[in-house]
Structure 1
């Protein structure tokens, strides 16, 4: 009796036995796919091109993987043959008929097959003779069915992968990527990361192909590239060691906020250093054991004195080693260092002992960053670290990372931040990585020069090839020059394929121009606001805004910047004072947490049609196209879009509201540099008013002509010369 296809649980066990180090998600993924697509007979691609690469990527033994894949294929082939035998029982007469050669005009063949008669072409009339087909229709039908089956199964694989990726729950403890590592023993070891010819894919999309990555220890790399290109995927791949990073190199990846619980903030930071925590636990255990041994010896005279001395010596030796390691890592200074990091990131001294659950998401993101900085991993991976920071915290982080002693790889679209921090730039594009020495400004200059050089080389090659072709065309049939022409042909054939330099399509945003309104437009007179009468957040606010206003609101987090925006738009009303808004004034608000306003379970077009009905699909797609959401992206589920693409969708939704005033809270978060430039251009062209809360120095400088500082319960116009002078003011105050 033939073996039956195993159950999902049995397949999970077989995969686990073959590749013990595989993640549970991978094991469940493979077993689930095979279980849902159990009819895989005659489809070698499913095993060879899908299952085997997943197992090989986990680093398992190739021989064991080959054996398991062969076993799966045999089981599925056997089941397929049984189904086929059962299906063909009692159909010998039809089988024999189909195996016969078919005369293309035979009425018997037409009626038997029911297929050829459907055609209206008279082959006999065309050729003037009878045509006997040599095609074996049985084999033809079998081949067609096999192709259709493979296409259906490949589609099923893609749909299954997409569903699993969307349903997958991300890990929450991003600071426990590595096991406890004794980093006192790794000092002096080579900690450069060098990866050659590796590929990365995500959700069926190739991110990198035959890429090379070299990270020299002690260098600080900025990773740049357009939204959706796969920068965050590269960081996650490194952090999960899905590529061959040496095990003695500790890695820490910060991309999401830490989970909140009852742990005090400073203890949450201290516990990030798992090795130090391990040493403290060992110290406590050994001290307790030493006291217990002393007590036991005094009460039990029959115990061997020699055995006691040996055990005691071992405990004291271990304790001495623990003390030496605690001293080597400067454990006694740890709490002061943790407090300094928390203060630099904006936590006041009284907040250091607040439970982590008492902080909002943005502040817990800062806690995750503080844990990473305190831990000092050999390779620190940061994904847009400035997104949740105010300008004082960004300044502090820039200065802190300038002296970072280990390797840093940071994804950021803040040019000023990269200019201050980066020693090298990695440019990710077209499934590859390009290296540039220097900060972002140097990269921008070098990249432009490199592109000009490539363009000149391309034009020279085109001209050279045209010269060769012209010579060949002129002389190839001339007896005296035929030999030279043949030589030119060989030269032309040996030249490599010519590809023009890559040109990234420019991105443009466009907000619709509103109708004009007569003054007064928007005024606030002596306004005071607090959520309770005892706790006043802002008081004595005076504002007068016109249709050409370009205002940036800056200040430390928690000072009330977002509250100002809500007072402007009418989401909050002041306890005292007067807010006057023009009767026809329309606002469009871009929230710092704009993703919360999107329904990620539908497409962008469906979300716009549901929220702002009355337009055709073509109009919604045209609106999305005005913000760089082109092609099929607008028809993708919003959950599958990158952070920058979701921001573009949110901007397109603002445009649908046809506002007189754009109120933007941290609009550059998640946007790539080209998109930031496009947003800058769109705001300059916009005919209405603009109010921005942002920490991006370059963006503020390009868009705004007024700077308002929100701090100490007040909102006042800054009297200096713009954002650069404000940063100097912040540094002078020591914030």
Structure 2
């Protein structure tokens, strides 16, 4: 191996000489790879060096040198091995028996030792295998360990690179692309027979993906099925997407820095930024040329005119491209997008680091919408939005001119936005025309048809088998029986329709309390007396209350929940809570409240001691965490599974009131249905903050609007009418 010929320092210098600007993590990874695998030169090292910006000639020279070193080292090892064997060793090898297959066996199979060959039937005698099974197993284990080690190094190197968030622009998943030059090219995407795996788990097998340009696709499926992995694979171009198609994937909040919010949005259009920089450079060059000509009269006028004409021609080309992309309207368009997502004009010049994670997630979404990529990938875009922003995004995406692929659990959002639905399940993708409601209906009809077809096939097979069993050995019917046998053998293999396991949630019913339960009279709260957040609040809540609190972000909804639970006390007014009243709060950032370094059972035992492991596991099973999942570290669970653990912890508190802040975030649709059913059957009170229209409509019978420093009961007919009210106000 190269590691025995060169030291790590020498190898690092060689790589640095080839690609001076390579990241430290890439250099370390290449050096460690070269240490134990010669195949890595072609399979891994060369592509990494090319991606890092190395010159092709330098990369060829480095790879040739490494291959030469491998070859010389291997030759030296073979020489030493032959010397150690000697004449005695050669004699022992020659004395071993050699068993050869007949020529017929070789020609019938195409290779010696193929598994399909019956040696006894070919030769008429039993052939003794000369394969040492123990050595074969050791060799296979060694190969498997080698592949696992390589995969682990790839993952480690990738994680090291991604940890350097300040150096990574998550929006720049493509190099700068002149999208004015891609007009007229087909931007449909058609990918056939591809596989995707993640962490050793198969996500898709022999899948086909077709995205017609201009269509809006909703990607649905259960938690943990791999929807986000599919989006990530597309965005990283690990699938063969044409290079002239630009892709943007919004899944993480943007990194905060001192750049103003509106400039962060404008800079997302890298082609426009490139043109503006080029315009500035050419203008400066033109001024410098004029100045140089006036100071140096000896310079050839002919050369000067030629150079100046080229600069002016390039500048004219830049101006034409800026005009083609309507660069002069960019700032107003960026401001409009920011306003739609809830950024007031006074926040447009605030540095991005001054915003919280949820608002920076909105900035990432604003950057993608401004950039207008050919393929926009959105992963749960409504999670961080309030109802006014969701309404704005729905209307904005309905006129989206390019291709959209969005993962969402919000059925109303998908009904408004999607023109097609992709259903991911059982390592495959199914296509449905229409929005989510049409998909739900068609899926059920398709399932019934598959079940009917399956039952008919089972009956037909049973009929054939009964005829065969009855007449197989009857001389008069033997021919018919043989024909039935052939028909039965040619029938396709039966696959029963997929039956998805139902998910059930259950909260324990609390003991009854006599009124009054919870009352607030003329309450006012603010973190400083000069700036009250909520004023003049009046409410009376009972054990059967089902209340939804809605309103724009920043209006004080979360503050209101803290006032209800007693985590905050009002500056003015009176709050009365029943002496035995217990609350259980599900926070929007509930993951921060979980200890991800322990298992779910250990976390519950630590915070709510006094029960057996079986009781904790039974409680987790009430929320879909079954089997060994409850004994896994919480850090290994998906977002939806972590939410279920948080719900199970709420149940342990045996609350009279459930206070839920955005409970549907990260849950799949089946889990949302299970949560809806559990809350409907719960005998205590429920207060939720949510933007999910269907969830609010199914659970709540009262709607309270939090805006303008007040909390008032909505006088309309529910969430649908509230959305119309928001649209009428132009929020």
Query: Are 1:373 and 2:360 counterparts?
Result: no
Q: Tell me the equivalent position of 2:512.
A: 516
Distance in 1 (CA, whole Å) between partners of 2:543 and 2:698 is 18
SS at match of 2:721: helix
Q: Tell me the equivalent position of 2:317.
A: 321
Shift of 1:25: 6.9
Query: Are 1:505 and 2:505 counterparts?
Result: no
Distance in 1 (CA, whole Å) between partners of 2:518 and 2:380 is 35
Moved more, 163-172 or 669-678: 163-172
Contact 2:260 2:352 in 1 (8 A): yes
Q: Tell me the equivalent position of 1:560.
A: 556
Distance in 2 (CA, whole Å) between partners of 1:467 and 1:421 is 49
SS at match of 2:401: coil
Distance in 2 (CA, whole Å) between partners of 1:637 and 1:80 is 48
Distance in 1 (CA, whole Å) between partners of 2:614 and 2:74 is 46
Query: Are 1:439 and 2:405 counterparts?
Result: no
Moved more, 576-585 or 197-206: 576-585
Distance in 2 (CA, whole Å) between partners of 1:697 and 1:65 is 59
Query: Are 1:597 and 2:593 counterparts?
Result: yes
Superposition misfits of 4+ residues, deviation over 3 angstroms: 1-35, 50-61, 63-86, 138-172
Distance in 2 (CA, whole Å) between partners of 1:617 and 1:145 is 40
Query: Are 1:251 and 2:282 counterparts?
Result: no
Q: Tell me the equivalent position of 2:726.
A: 730
Q: Tell me the equivalent position of 1:117.
A: none
Contact 1:218 1:406 in 2 (8 A): yes
Structure 1 vs Structure 2 CA RMSD: 3.8
Distance in 1 (CA, whole Å) between partners of 2:684 and 2:724 is 31
Distance in 2 (CA, whole Å) between partners of 1:382 and 1:474 is 60
Q: Tell me the equivalent position of 1:122.
A: none
Contact 1:18 1:65 in 2 (8 A): no
Contact 1:553 1:694 in 2 (8 A): yes
Query: Are 1:294 and 2:290 counterparts?
Result: yes
Q: Tell me the equivalent position of 2:332.
A: 336
Q: Tell me the equivalent position of 2:462.
A: 466
TM, length-normalised to structure 2: 0.85
Distance in 1 (CA, whole Å) between partners of 2:377 and 2:633 is 28
Contact 1:166 1:640 in 2 (8 A): no
Q: Which of 541, 544, 549 matches 1:545?
A: 541
SS at match of 2:179: coil
Moved more, 226-235 or 622-631: 622-631
Quickly say closer, same or farther: Cα 1:614–1:8, change in 2 above 3 A. farther
Distance in 2 (CA, whole Å) between partners of 1:560 and 1:289 is 54
Quickly say closer, same or farther: Cα 1:322–1:552, change in 2 above 3 A. same
Superposed CA deviations along residues 221-257 of structure 1, whole A, max 9, x for unmatched, are 1011000111111111111111111111111111111
SS at match of 2:230: helix
Distance in 2 (CA, whole Å) between partners of 1:464 and 1:57 is 55
Quickly say closer, same or farther: Cα 1:237–1:22, change in 2 above 3 A. farther
Quickly say closer, same or farther: Cα 1:662–1:166, change in 2 above 3 A. farther
Contact 2:534 2:709 in 1 (8 A): yes
Superposed CA deviations along residues 66-123 of structure 1, whole A, max 9, x for unmatched, are 999999899899989999999x99xx9xx99xx9xxxxxxxxxxxxxxxxxxxxxxxx
Which runs of 5 or more structure 2 residues have no equivalent in the other structure?
97-127
Superposed CA deviations along residues 151-176 of structure 1, whole A, max 9, x for unmatched, are 77677778778877877745552211
Which runs of 5 or more structure 1 residues have no equivalent in the other structure?
41-46, 100-133
TM, length-normalised to structure 1: 0.84
Query: Are 1:629 and 2:633 counterparts?
Result: no
Query: Are 1:650 and 2:663 counterparts?
Result: no
Quickly say closer, same or farther: Cα 1:79–1:511, change in 2 above 3 A. farther
Distance in 1 (CA, whole Å) between partners of 2:681 and 2:43 is 51
Residues 467-482 of structure 1 correspond to what in structure 2 (within 5 A)?
467-482=463-478
Shift of 1:626: 1.3
Superposed CA deviations along residues 425-457 of structure 1, whole A, max 9, x for unmatched, are 111111111111111011111111111111111
Distance in 2 (CA, whole Å) between partners of 1:291 and 1:151 is 64
Q: Tell me the equivalent position of 1:44.
A: none
Quickly say closer, same or farther: Cα 1:417–1:24, change in 2 above 3 A. farther
Distance in 2 (CA, whole Å) between partners of 1:432 and 1:244 is 18
Quickly say closer, same or farther: Cα 1:10–1:658, change in 2 above 3 A. farther
Q: Which of 336, 340, 353 matches 1:357?
A: 353
Shift of 1:484: 1.2
Q: Tell me the equivalent position of 1:123.
A: none
Distance in 1 (CA, whole Å) between partners of 2:686 and 2:347 is 34
Shift of 1:710: 0.1
Shift of 1:540: 0.5
